[in-house]
Amino acid sequence: MPESSTSARIVVTTAANSEEATRLGRTLVEERLVACATLVPAIESIYRWKGSVESSVESMLLLKTNAMQLKALEARLQELHSYETPEFLVLPVEAGSRGYLEWMNQCLGHDLSPATAIRTDKTE
C-alpha cells in the first residue's frame, strides 16, 4: 500500500533536445539534487514567447527530488540550462511506495528513517 509523503516532489522541466536533457539529468543526479531524472524525448510544446506563438520539439525531464532540494535545484538548473527562462514546475507527491521514497532520500544524501521521511495515515 502506498505511503503518504510529506517531502517528495517531481519537478517538470524541458530542454532544447535530448543531448541537453541527458546532460542536465546526469549532472543533477551526480550532484545529488535529484534522485532520478526521467527523460521523455521528442515532445512538442506550443507557447507564447516575446509576443508570438511558437512551437518547438523539446525533451521533457521529470526530476524526482524532495522539498529540501528545491531552492538549490532551481538555481543549478538556471545555471546549466540553455533557455533564458527554463520551465520549473514543482508537483507534490501525494503518496509512493515506502521503498522508493526511502531510496530517493538516500540518493539525495538524506538517509532519513522511515518515521521522518514518510508520514503514514494509520493511527496506532
Coil/strand/helix, residue 64: strand
Tell me if 107 is assigned to some domain: no
| pTM listed for this prediction | 0.85
Tell me if 109 is assigned to some domain: no
Q: Are 66 and 9 in contact (CB under 8 A)?
A: yes
Q: Based on the structure, what is the number of domains in the chain?
A: 1
Cβ count within 10 A of residue 5: 21
Tell me if 74 is assigned to some domain: yes
Structure confidence by residue, pLDDT tens digits, 86-96 = 999 999 999 99
Least confident stretch, 48-52, 53-57, 102-106, 110-114 = 110-114
Tell me if 118 is assigned to some domain: no
> What residue spans of 4-97 are helical by DSSP H?
18-30, 70-80
Tell me if 102 is assigned to some domain: no
Range of the domain at 60: 9-92
Structure confidence by residue, pLDDT tens digits, 24-69 = 999 999 999 999 999 999 999 999 999 999 999 999 999 999 999 9
CA–CA dist 3, 121 (Å, integer): 8
For the record, the C-alpha cell of 22 comes out as 541527458
Tell me if 22 is assigned to some domain: yes
CATH code where residue 75 lies: 3.30.70.120
